Structure 1
Amino acid sequence: MVCCALPVVFMLPLVAQAGIKQVSPGAYTPPAYEALRLGNVKPTGWLKRQLQIMRKGSSGHLDEYYSKIKNDNGWLGGRGDGWEETPYWLDGALPLAYLLDDAVLKDKVLRYVNWTMDHQRKSGYFGPLTNAEITRQVDIDAAHAAEGEDWWPKMVMLKVLQQYYSATEDKRVIKFMSRYFRYQLEALKVAPVGKWTEWAQSRGAENVMMAQWLYSITEDDYLLELAETIEQQSFPWTTWFGNRDWVINTTTYRNNTQWMNRHAVNVAMGLKAPAVNYQRTGKQEYLQHLRTGWQDLMTIHGLPMGIFSGDEDLNGNDPTQGVELCAIVEAMYSLENISAITGDVFYMDALEKMAFNALPTQTTDDYNEKQYFQVANQLQISKGVFNFSLPFDREMCNVLGARSGYTCCLANMHQGWTKYTSHLWYQTSGKGVAALEYGPCVMTAEVGKKHRDVTITEVTDYPFNEEIRFQIAIKKETEFPLQLRIPAWCNEAVILLNGQPLRKDKGGQIITIEREWQDKDELTLQLPMTITTGTWGRNASAVERGPLVYALKLEERWVKDADPTEGAYYSVYPTGDWNFALRRNDIRHAADSMKVTKQRPLDSSFVWNLKHAPLEITAKAKKIPSWQVMNGVAYQPPTDREGFYKGKVDTVMHNITLVPYGFTKVRVVAFPVVP
């Protein structure tokens, strides 16, 4: 039974909750876009620099110094970690190895991949040796599935193996997964998804997705039966997102009773469930449930940087709320899969906003330390309880430290940039390619009726400039469709072919350019970016331009310290004034009243920090003297129903500087508005 503080209708058995009947194989709907093989997209420019930093830092070396992974690892046959953290790390380290074509890192991650496949049990069961196997020499088969261990860590390892197959097409993966899924179909009768923990029950969509991925290759009908069984035994996210009772209840209680359904990481993983279920059943209403759920989440819990609050629970839209790093990378992965399945620009836009704003701010320059929770309006990074739903007695949720808060994020943060990179391009059903997200890279694929190899070099500093150039390299002229996403924030895109005007297109759609492409053709996409503002919690206003959200530029004072339990960490404090409000007229006419300037070009030293912020926006502002930090939190000033602060405001006008949110550590992003 699902554990949730919800109306009685949700306390029915899981089969009834899911509201999904058994489906025939013919109902399976292929995704709108197919992922390219891992490694077919190679990062360049600032994006390659980001991945190189990760390789040099914790992403490439976590197993060398983090004791839980380093010591006697269960995923290498030892008695150590057999839970989620090793697969979490591999889920980012493995794609990183293939994206950078790094032989050393490949050898490192393949030790775990090969041990896992080489030590699959005769029944199909896999994973670290269980207590029953070690102490009583039990053979784990479907009849004795209860002697196994939790389904959840295996779900993560299946994602690792799927990516390994994408990179290598090693047929062992297909055989391995087929054996395991046949075992699981029978084993779930004895040991259902929620037997050991609610983690597996709340995250069953991860397992469903992998079974359906294998079905897309083998077309074995039992895989759809398995997917249906797992869905029925898991949290019914599809129903919850659609009927709205669930999201209303997430706004009520903050206690230890039935909290798993509002845990932000669970929600981030559950986001993909309606799209995954649509793929299996072809039922369009599931896509409407998804849209309803996402819009409800962002209305009630949304923060300006493109992610819902979750510290750890969903916790409202006040700008003083935080979000867990795991929730960001998991929500990105869900949006990547939702985008491929649905082909909906809405989710592609949401993904890029999350990636360019929420993701980069939460780790240090060397990618060795992280914040467990970041805060939207974050006026200090320090020990404290802040306004979190899970503050911790040791008060370490907000600081920048490798082991601060829970260490799940230390292991899981590596998939954010790597999977974003690997999902920049997709294959289309018309033997073409589609650029659904943007960033500097080189993509190779087979296109056209004769499956000719094409290489497209994407030359751009996006999202820091407005122009993307696609340089075509192909041995013989070939006709194929090239699809491009025009973001909804772009009023009108301009497309040039070989320097000559080709067409103009409105935002919020995917366009198709089908022609006979020739070697050295160059397609240029111009996406004019206009300064706009959006309204968020407490009637606060945030400044945006294109996919970037902007925050007050505050100089930073870093302090290093150590906690007896959680080790070394950094606190960060602002220097200078911060308690500014934006004027009503400037908010209404942001494009006229604010000015963007370029500060520095991107180069090989690029990193997401204040020193390297390539863009700035200048704006007029006034101070609110009474707006002060209390217990580490800058609680938002009250507003009237028109959205304005009516208390005392200084008369002096100030010129303030805003920089892209992702380059900040301390900041104001949600500004009060004054008349």
Structure 2
Amino acid sequence: MPALSRACRSFGVAVALLSGPALAQPVAPAPPLAPLAYHELAPSAVQPTGWLRTQLGIMRDHSTGHLDETYPKLRDKNGWLGGSGDGWEETPYWLDGALPLAHLLQDKPLLAKVQRYVDWSLANQRPSGYFGPLTKAERQAGHRLDVQSTQGEDWWPRMIMLKVLQQHYQATGDPRVIPFMRQYFRYQLANLRAAPLGQWSEWSTVRGGDNLLVVYWLYRQTGEPFLRELGELLYQQTTPWTSLLGGRDWVLAAAANQTDAHWMDRHGVNVGMGLKLPVVYAQAHPEQPQLNQALRTGWRDIMTLHGLPAGMFSADEDLHGNLPTQGTELCAVVETMFSLEQAAALTGDLAYLDALERIAYNALPTQTTDDYESRQYFQVANQVQVQRGVLDFSLPFEHGMTNVFGPYAGYTCCTANMHQGWAKFATHLWYGTPALGLAALEYAPNTLTATVNGNVPVTIREETAYPFGDEINFVFDLRKPTAFPLALRVPGWCAEATVLLNGQALRTEKGGQVITLARPWRKNDRLTLRLPMAVRTSSWARNSRALERGPLVYALKIKENWQEASQAQEGRYYTLAPGSLWNYGLPRAVVQDPAGTTTVAAPPLGPTANGFYWNAAQAPVTITVSGRRLPDWQLSEGVAPQPVTPREGLYKGPVADATETLTFIPYGCTKLRVVALPVIP
């Protein structure tokens, strides 16, 4: 990314940016946006290694790298290449993950593939500023028109493509992007009153925060006053997520109301996207602390009333309470992750970073198959079978395909949108800091190449088995000794972290903070962060308990019997039946002393057949504990209803006399599981 652009984003400075070969004309001074807590790095700054490289490589070799070849909706006459096919959300959704993946892997075939869509969009902007697939009127006319106002089509898919183009610019500095966005945003300002966000669909109204995010990003590049005016208009026309999240009545009503009244405001994917609106808008209004507070309040309330052990809220499709029989849509997972990545950069709030980590390492990997070709529309927390049926969802669908694994099962939005989850998580492992340093805010194996102090190149190799292991090593490569600040997140789950430099203890720090090491760094310096992972338990619906260790939630390992089938409308799919017993309770002694009553097997991360760890067979960590069967806890209508326990938290039904050894593995490694268990005497 150009150094000038990076500095502008860090400090909210209003400047003119390169537009073609010459500097743009200076614009009138305009108020800067609030400073960012952290700024994003180029998608190509991180080179994934280890297990993360394997995960992204599988995506590249399978659906993420080839969806445009295998999925007819994208493959045939694609509207984002000028054809009469898909012109709505699914192609931009796919690009929103495929483009950063291509830059993370520096994969030339995938880079060339996504570049076609970028080039077509940039080359086919209408004189008015409108862009995207040919409208109905243009197709009838047989050529492009100067699209105005209601001659256009839904604003929503263009919002996604704007995010794609922003990432493209961050990775390449393509000089076409800034004037392209400027022209489109002038078009929006001129036309949104006559054709507001809800003109064609309510999706644009509830998701306007994604549009606003890119408007403010461009304002940090150019400082053009009209963008502030456009930002106010977009905020006014977007669903009032600030008042919904901060006002609290909404989240309470969502727990009780499953009618069609205001259902778009309860739709889990919309909620995941809408979360960021208050803090995005707060950039332009730092004098209003209630904006940032709205997200803090809303996130806490959502997770209290609708939260599930893997870090996500129920979203099947609506917010639907906290019972572990509720489902969560895959689109909601990846969109919530993106909102948390943005909220972290905007506010620096550690709670969003901890929440992001929990979702990424628990909810995300469980919902796709090892080959990244099939996925579930809805995952379930206590998922003791995967079968067709309506189950316990707020939107069950008549085909009964929302819980099975398949390329197209349920709605196909997730087929296209799931790709951004891992890709954007990888690009947000690191951020830049306002002091021209670096911040490691999420942990995974990678190599970072960036600059510090404005223009000094540095490479940092992050060697770790995290999230399975508790040690992260940073190895520095610099041409000469250089002083710069390095920020490290100490997760909230960690009681006390130890920092070592070249093997010597440097400091200890309590969990729940970001620490900064400002010092000279030298070639081959080795900084070690140790985050001891003690076993603990957490409390969930109906006084159930889950085992946790470090960033991972653990679930009872259940043998999986897979079976393939086909459905006329939704194609190939997989069901899973349990091949072992699952109806167990945890003794009260485990809740009282989890570390003393459990045994952890966490050997050094060893090789697997393909370097992949996110399945039951290759789970690298296990926890064993004693438990006893609950014979009356049985399946009912396809799910395992959570047993009721009284307020003291002990299950009162029949409990088997025999004690058995139970094996728990990371939730993200499971497809069948029980994660929230009743407590027994």
Deviation at 1:254, TM superposition (A): 1.4
1:298 aligns with 2:303: yes
1:646 aligns with 2:652: yes
Of 516, 519, 535, the residue aligned with 1:515 is 519
Work out whether residues 140 and 147 of structure 1, in 8 Å CA contact, stay in contact via their aligned partners in 2: no
1:660 aligns with 2:657: no
How do 1:385-400 and structure 2 match up within 5 A? 385-400=390-405
Q: Residue type of the partner of 2:564?
A: K
Work out whether residues 36 and 434 of structure 2, in 8 Å CA contact, stay in contact via their aligned partners in 1: no
Deviation at 1:293, TM superposition (A): 0.1
Work out whether residues 387 and 403 of structure 2, in 8 Å CA contact, stay in contact via their aligned partners in 1: yes
Gaps of 5+ in 2: 1-28
Of 332, 336, 340, the residue aligned with 1:335 is 340
Deviation at 1:140, TM superposition (A): 5.7
Deviation at 1:279, TM superposition (A): 1.3
Q: Residue type of the partner of 2:463?
A: V
Tell me which residue corresponds to 1:266: 270
Question: How far apart in 2 are the matches of 1:602 and 1:82?
Answer: 45
After superposition, the C-alpha distances for 1:540-559 in whole angstroms (9 at most, x for unaligned) are: 10110010000001111000
3-state secondary structure, aligned to 1:638? coil
Deviation at 1:607, TM superposition (A): 3.9
1:404 aligns with 2:413: no
Work out whether residues 263 and 314 of structure 1, in 8 Å CA contact, stay in contact via their aligned partners in 2: yes
Work out whether residues 600 and 612 of structure 1, in 8 Å CA contact, stay in contact via their aligned partners in 2: no
Tell me which residue corresponds to 1:12: none
Deviation at 1:255, TM superposition (A): 2.4
Work out whether residues 201 and 235 of structure 1, in 8 Å CA contact, stay in contact via their aligned partners in 2: yes
Question: How far apart in 1 are the matches of 2:438 and 2:464?
Answer: 18
Deviation at 1:138, TM superposition (A): 9.0
Tell me which residue corresponds to 2:620: 614
3-state secondary structure, aligned to 2:198? coil
Question: How far apart in 1 are the matches of 2:577 and 2:131?
Answer: 47
Tell me which residue corresponds to 2:203: 199
Of 628, 635, 639, the residue aligned with 1:629 is 635
After superposition, the C-alpha distances for 1:15-56 in whole angstroms (9 at most, x for unaligned) are: xxxxxxxxx953620211011111001100000000000001
How do 1:102-251 and structure 2 match up within 5 A? 102-136=107-141, 144-251=148-255
Q: Residue type of the partner of 1:387?
A: D
Q: Residue type of the partner of 2:316?
A: D
How do 1:553-592 and structure 2 match up within 5 A? 553-592=557-596
Deviation at 1:133, TM superposition (A): 1.8
Of 343, 348, 356, the residue aligned with 2:361 is 356
Tell me which residue corresponds to 2:675: 669
Q: Residue type of the partner of 1:631?
A: E
Q: Residue type of the partner of 1:246?
A: W
After superposition, the C-alpha distances for 1:476-500 in whole angstroms (9 at most, x for unaligned) are: 1111001100001111100000110
3-state secondary structure, aligned to 2:293? helix
Greater mean deviation of Cα atoms: 664-673 or 28-37: 28-37
Q: Residue type of the partner of 1:273?
A: L
Tell me which residue corresponds to 1:490: 494
Question: How far apart in 2 are the matches of 1:605 and 1:514?
Answer: 35
Work out whether residues 123 and 140 of structure 1, in 8 Å CA contact, stay in contact via their aligned partners in 2: no
Work out whether residues 600 and 615 of structure 1, in 8 Å CA contact, stay in contact via their aligned partners in 2: no
Question: How far apart in 1 are the matches of 2:547 and 2:284?
Answer: 40
Of 597, 611, 629, the residue aligned with 1:605 is 611
3-state secondary structure, aligned to 2:255? coil
Question: How far apart in 2 are the matches of 1:72 and 1:618?
Answer: 54
1:287 aligns with 2:292: yes
Tell me which residue corresponds to 1:595: 599
Question: How far apart in 2 are the matches of 1:187 and 1:434?
Answer: 40
Question: How far apart in 2 are the matches of 1:397 and 1:410?
Answer: 13
Question: How far apart in 1 are the matches of 2:522 and 2:70?
Answer: 50
1:528 aligns with 2:554: no
Of 437, 441, 450, the residue aligned with 2:442 is 437
Work out whether residues 46 and 602 of structure 1, in 8 Å CA contact, stay in contact via their aligned partners in 2: no
Tell me which residue corresponds to 2:17: none
How do 1:473-484 and structure 2 match up within 5 A? 473-484=477-488
3-state secondary structure, aligned to 1:260? helix
Paired residues in the alignment total 650
Question: How far apart in 2 are the matches of 1:80 and 1:158?
Answer: 20
Work out whether residues 141 and 183 of structure 1, in 8 Å CA contact, stay in contact via their aligned partners in 2: no
Tell me which residue corresponds to 1:503: 507
Question: How far apart in 1 are the matches of 2:257 and 2:526?
Answer: 56
Tell me which residue corresponds to 1:96: 101
The list of structure 1 runs, each at least 4 consecutive aligned residues, that deviate by more than 4 angstroms after superposition, is: 136-142
Question: How far apart in 1 are the matches of 2:678 and 2:420?
Answer: 35
1:426 aligns with 2:431: yes
Tell me which residue corresponds to 1:32: 37
Deviation at 1:367, TM superposition (A): 0.2
- Give the superposed CA RMSD: 1.3
Greater mean deviation of Cα atoms: 365-374 or 581-590: 581-590
3-state secondary structure, aligned to 1:39? helix
Of 369, 373, 384, the residue aligned with 1:368 is 373
3-state secondary structure, aligned to 2:283? helix
Normalising to structure 1: TM-score of the pair? 0.95
3-state secondary structure, aligned to 1:489? coil
Work out whether residues 599 and 616 of structure 1, in 8 Å CA contact, stay in contact via their aligned partners in 2: no
Question: How far apart in 2 are the matches of 1:506 and 1:258?
Answer: 43
Greater mean deviation of Cα atoms: 255-264 or 421-430: 255-264
Normalising to structure 2: TM-score of the pair? 0.94
Tell me which residue corresponds to 2:13: none
Question: How far apart in 1 are the matches of 2:145 and 2:283?
Answer: 32
Tell me which residue corresponds to 2:78: 73
Work out whether residues 613 and 620 of structure 2, in 8 Å CA contact, stay in contact via their aligned partners in 1: no
Work out whether residues 58 and 367 of structure 1, in 8 Å CA contact, stay in contact via their aligned partners in 2: yes
Gaps of 5+ in 1: 1-23
